[in-house]
Amino acid sequence: MSRIPSPMSRRKGDDIASRPWRGRVRDYDLFKELTIGVVVVGLLVLGLSAIFSSPDDPGVTLKSWAAAAPSDFVATATAELGGTSGTAGYGPPYNSTPDASQHLGFFNPQELSGVRLPVDTANDFVINPLKTLPTPPAALATWSAATADQQTKWTADYTTALSAAPNGDPARVANGNYGPVPALTSALLGMANSGNLDGVLQNSGQPYNLDYTPTILFLGDGNYFPDLATTAHLTGDQWGVMNETGNTPGQSWLWLFSLLYQIEPYKSSPNADILVVATMLVLSLLLTLLPFIPGLRSIPRKIPVHRLIWKDYYGKR
Amino acid sequence: MSTVKESSPDPEVAGTGAYTWTGKSRQWFLRHLPPDKLLPEDQPSYVATWAYVFGMGAVAGLVFIIGSGVVLSLNGPQWYHVSSLGHFTNSVHLWSVELFFMFMVVHLWIKFWMAAWRGGRLLTWITGMVAFLVSIVTAFTGYLLQTNFDSQWIAFEAKDALNAVGIGAWFNVANLGQIFMWHIMLLPLAVGAVVALHVVLVRAHGVVPPLDAAGTDAQLRDSNGTSPEPEANQP
């Protein structure tokens, strides 16, 4: 007994969808339609571009950060020095912080990929840039000579003191033993203010460099850069994934990706990113392979939107 | 030195003149993509609704994306910050992307409600979906190349999802050079190839008929209410 395939099946059979059309035809000019399409879409594109233009808010530099929010810059530099910043505790691909990576049960691709873009925040963001100064601060020698425990204590105490100071102002920090930390962070602030730190952090000693990873990570560890993003409604909890600066539409097609971050169990999960990506991959795969899935592939028959689409055809039956 | 050609011993191709790889390929293409299918001058009578314009709209949008993208590429990523013509070209690139996605999403939904995978059109559906997904990644890399505040923030935010799935080092959103290569070479090649294959498949298989359509449309009434002659005006 031969099995009759479902009319919603992808398979080629002896049905109307599989055979060449034997009914009436209408004139059709492929090239004319393409030309009309290009002209109409071209006019739309030119019109929208002329009326709405495109946003181009200038980027943030370490110099502009240091000038606009010096206290935040110093607090962040202290965290980089003490290894307590977001980047310092990030895990792969930047460093090997234990238990920092996201995972789905035993599947941990972040850990599997390894430390591919090593970042040592104390040395890469603070110590090494200061060493490039014409007159490196003497505090560098004190820092290098100290034990790791001593370094941690200095930065922790200075972080606490900065938090307690009015507006986090380094000039109004209570007296204490912070070792070389105030001198180092102050020297780095001066370097950033002069514009020197942007170049040093980006060029890694090479004449050509197109990799902005250190700058982006350093900026993101502070509050100034994320606060600007909040003002521009770009953060994750503001559906920022699909937004643009200003009122221009952004990547609105990422609405579902953005939505998942707003709901449980994704919202409060420490593995939110890998959960969201995995969900999107599964949903994309389901939609791609929908013709194979009984039930789902029959939705167009059960909800007859096709009668609206081919209204003219069904109206004449 | 000349050689004498023997007639082909292969019964499959005997009489067709196709005994080489090239000849067999030509036969295959002519069988599956005859010129009147590839460049048709008529379509089934049911292909008469606005629902069909969105696929072509997406292709037209892609034409402007590629055109404006080539101009931006030739002038470098900083050009549009300092030139009014560059800024306008950037706007054309942005708005053609927005329209491309709008047309593509509407096209996708309409094809879903048409169950357009029926009758051996599976690969047409799959290539359409792949074109959509690859386009999303391509557009994302474009947003990273704006070299302004938005691209800085997107790089900072988006790194987490990519790092979490272990591809952050090869798709490093803060590495402008790497993303540039993805955006102007690897991904456009992928989008172009998949869209081209999709369009060829649409032509090869023809436009899917309405659900429950009869073998001909002899059962349809004309606009004046009379039934047409059966099999009339066949291609």
Q: Where are the domains of chain A?
A: 62-231
Model confidence pLDDT, tens digit, residues B197-217: 999 999 999 899 888 776 666
Residue A119 CA to residue A213 CA, distance in Å, equals: 9
Q: Do A24 and B81 touch (CB under 8 A)?
A: no
pLDDT at A98: 86
CB within 8 Å of chain B, chain A residues 97-136: 101-102, 109-110, 112-113, 116-117
CB within 8 Å of chain A, chain B residues 102-121: 103, 105, 110, 112-115, 117-121
Contact B88, A51 (CB under 8 A): no
Residue A157 CA to residue A95 CA, distance in Å, equals: 24
CB atoms under 10 Å from CB of A44, counted, come to 18
CATH topology of domain B115-207: Cytochrome Bc1 Complex; Chain C (1.20.810)
Residue B148 CA to residue B128 CA, distance in Å, equals: 32
pLDDT at B226: 47
> pTM for the complete prediction?
0.89
What is the nearest CA distance from B4 to chain A, expressed in angstroms?
42
Residue B127 CA to residue A315 CA, distance in Å, equals: 32
Residue A224 CA to residue A65 CA, distance in Å, equals: 7
What is the nearest CA distance from B10 to chain A, expressed in angstroms?
29
Model confidence pLDDT, tens digit, residues B189-199: 999 999 999 99
Letter for the amino acid at A190? G
Burial class (CB in 10 A: 0-12, 13-18, 19+), A294: exposed
Between B45, B56, B112, which is nearest A26 by CB? B45
Q: Which of B93, B151, B165 to mutate to test the interface with A (most CBs of A within 10 A)?
A: B165
pLDDT at A22: 77
pLDDT at B216: 64
Residue B163 reports pLDDT greater than 90: yes
Model confidence pLDDT, tens digit, residues B62-103: 999 999 999 999 999 899 999 999 999 999 999 999 999 999
pLDDT at B9: 53
pLDDT over 70 percentage in chain B: 83
Q: Which two tokens stand for residue A258?
A: 């953005």
Q: Which of A16, A206, A302 to mutate to test the interface with B (most CBs of B within 10 A)?
A: A16
DSSP state of B42: E
CB within 8 Å of chain A, chain B residues 165-204: 165-169, 172, 174-178, 180
pLDDT-based confidence at B44, cuts 50/70/90? confident
Name which of A232, A294, A273, A290 is nearest A100 in CA terms. A273
pLDDT at B231: 40
Residue B170 reports pLDDT greater than 70: yes
pLDDT-based confidence at B49, cuts 50/70/90? confident
pLDDT at B221: 58
DSSP B160-212: HHHHHTT-TTTS-TTBHHHHHHIIIIIHHHHHHHHHHHHHHHHHHH-PPPPTT
From chain A, pick out residues whose CB is under 8 angstroms from the CB of B223: 316
Q: Which residues of chain A have pLDDT under 70?
A: 1-5, 14
Closest residue of chain B to A285, computed from CA coordinates: B129
From chain A, pick out residues whose CB is under 8 angstroms from the CB of B149: 57-60, 228, 232, 245
What is the nearest CA distance from B205 to chain A, expressed in angstroms?
8
Model confidence pLDDT, tens digit, residues B101-118: 999 999 999 999 999 999
Between A211, A225, A310, which is nearest B175 by CB? A211
DSSP state of A291: G
pLDDT at B222: 57
Residue B17 CA to residue B23 CA, distance in Å, equals: 7
Computed over every residue of chain B, the mean pLDDT equals 86
